[in-house]
Amino acid sequence: MRRALTALLLSLIALTGGAAAAAAVAPDEIIVEDTAGVLDTNTLVPALEGIEFREPTTVAVYTYNGPENNDDGQVLNAEVLRFAREEHPDWLSGDGQKWADGLFIFALDPVGRWTGTYYGEDRKISLDQQEDIREETNELFAEANWTEGTIAAVEEAAKLINRPWYLSPGALIGAGIAVLAALGSVITYVAVRRNRQAKNRKLLAEADAAYASVTRDLDATEVNANTIPASSAYGSRVLEEYRTFMSRYNKATELNNAAHALADKELKNKPSTAAVENYADAAMELDALDDVIADTNALLNKAPGWERAWDRQAGPLNEDLDRLDEQLDGKDALEKDSATAQALRAFRQQAREGLAAAAAGLSDGRITPEQALDRIKASRAELSDLLKDHAQTVIAARAKSGEERKLMQEELDKAATPGIRNRSGYRPGIVDTAFPAYFYYSVGSFSSGIEEGTSSVERARSAAQSSSTGYGSSGGSFSGAGSSGRF
């Protein structure tokens, strides 16, 4: 196999080497229309004269100062077409509907920060290749090296225009890929199975630890449940969860047996993952629930250790209040001077004081455990509402269209949707267990939702800007090959 691949590659090198050597044609003509006044023609023209194309090609360079803050690539396309119609009709085909044969145009708008490449029908290349040309200029243009960036663009264009199929990167390595594909598939298959086995072993060990903890605490869980006051709104709801505890434990036992019936080598197989995950979900859910039952008993009865039970209930909200510091006051804070940010700051201080007051009130008996839990629930509800309001402020500032607002909102909604969180470190508290349908929009959900939403918008903008091919309303039926993109 190695000999065959080597022979094939040597043949390709010999073939393409000869073809590359034969492709050495200087530009037929160089036209520079620097209306923006940013190019050094004394450097540019000699450099362009030294670039070799595969076919005689007229190279035209056009610069103009476009509008600032322009997000529409068709503006540059339309301007190049307008300039050609008024000043260079020789750049157009005989019927005026396409660019002239043998022509390559490079356009630059240093103010709007757009570049465009346009081609005669016999010189046109794919949109991906057009993007490759523009990418050659990005770093240079970002530093205002307009002349060097223009040279780099024409050099890349010369490599891509009229390039024979067998000189494309895909063709050069295609034979090797075909030979190696089978071997690669085998390697990938083995790696995937080993990785799945390792993950299943780890998850099985975590599930066993949770199941062992539940089994060890069965008697204590029953005692705790029997002493939870059923008259309490929180206690009664937690007891509802406990009523199915033993049936769920028996189901977890069945899943335990099924998971451990798998031979170690079977953990490499995809069906085994479902069996292990089902067991892990059941065991970890029960492990979390027996902790909630213990905390409910300790807190509602103010039994020994109730202070630690209270800290576990208040902990997630305190963590969210700490995370607000970065969201509102950090160097990457979002719309920090907005009214919604100010409202969150006011809430942050108020909530911290409220939690401290609740802890003190519990200690000296001024408030009941139920009242303290109510404060947590109310504070989380208020935080959720304030975060939703601030999210709208951020969306309004970052999105530039209804479609972008929709993209960001979708990511926010996705981040806020509760999922299976037992295996990701999430531990429900008394409030979550007593009111499972209660919605809590955390700072973490807000942060990840905004981050994903912003990324979605940036990807959409990049996709739209990297291949803007239209010529605007003034272009009429013009359909010349070319596109523009932002740098």
**Domain's final residue, options 265, 283, 304:** 304
Q: Using alpha carbons only, how large is the chain's radius of gyration in Å?
A: 33
CATH of the domain at 117: 3.10.310.50
362 and 414, same structural domain?
yes
391 and 299, same structural domain?
no
Residues 6+ apart with CB under 8 A from 13: none
Instruction: Choose among 131, 148, 202, 16: nearest CA to 469.
Output: 131
Could you tell me if residue 146 is inside a domain?
yes
- Domain hosting 336: range is 306-487
Residues 6+ apart with CB under 8 A from 399: 405, 407, 408, 457
296 and 162, same structural domain?
no
Diameter of the chain measured on Cα atoms: 94
412 and 321, same structural domain?
yes
pLDDT score for 462: 65
Q: What single string gives the DSSP state of each residue in 234-299?
A: HHHHHHHHHTTHHHHHHHHHHHHHHHHTS-GGGGGSHHHHHHHHHHHHHHHHHHHHHHHHHHHHHH
148 and 31, same structural domain?
yes
352 and 227, same structural domain?
no
Give the residues across from 16 on adjacent strands: none
pLDDT score for 4: 46
Could you tell me if residue 386 is inside a domain?
yes
Could you tell me if residue 172 is inside a domain?
no
What are the tokens at 134? 């523009």
Could you tell me if residue 341 is inside a domain?
yes
CA atoms of 200 and 206, how far apart (whole Å): 10
For 481, the 3-state DSSP assignment is strand
Could you tell me if residue 177 is inside a domain?
no
pTM over 0.85: no
Could you tell me if residue 179 is inside a domain?
no
92 and 137, same structural domain?
yes
Q: What is the pLDDT along the chain (487 residues), one digit of tens a residue?
A: 445 445 545 554 544 444 444 458 999 999 999 999 999 999 999 999 999 999 999 999 999 999 987 878 789 999 999 999 999 999 999 999 999 999 999 999 999 999 999 999 999 998 889 989 998 998 899 899 999 999 999 999 999 999 886 655 554 445 445 445 455 555 766 788 889 999 999 999 999 999 999 999 999 999 999 999 999 999 999 999 999 999 999 999 999 999 999 999 999 998 899 999 999 999 999 999 999 999 999 999 999 999 999 999 999 999 999 999 888 887 777 788 899 999 999 999 999 999 999 999 999 999 999 999 999 999 999 999 999 999 999 999 988 888 889 989 999 888 877 644 445 556 789 999 999 866 678 888 888 888 888 888 887 776 555 557 788 777 788 999 999 988 8
72 and 151, same structural domain?
yes
For 269, the 3-state DSSP assignment is coil
225 and 105, same structural domain?
no
Could you tell me if residue 366 is inside a domain?
yes
**Where do the DSSP E strands lie in 72-214?**
103-109, 114-119
What are the tokens at 292? 């909630």
Which amino acid type is present at position 195? Answer: N
Would you say the C-alpha torsion 88, 91, 96, 98 has a positive or negative sign?
negative
pLDDT score for 178: 47
Could you tell me if residue 176 is inside a domain?
no
pLDDT score for 335: 87
CA atoms of 351 and 222, how far apart (whole Å): 35
199 and 62, same structural domain?
no
**Domain's final residue, options 304, 323, 355:** 304
**Domain's final residue, options 252, 285, 304:** 304
238 and 143, same structural domain?
no
331 and 451, same structural domain?
yes
Q: What single string gives the DSSP state of each residue in 369-409?
A: HHHHHHHHHHHHHHHHHHHHHHHHHHHHHH--SHHHHHHHH
pLDDT score for 200: 94
Q: How many domains does the chain have?
A: 3
How many alpha carbons fall within 13 Å on the CB side of residue 23? Answer: 20
Residues 6+ apart with CB under 8 A from 320: 383, 442, 443, 444
What single-letter DSSP state applies at residue 99? B
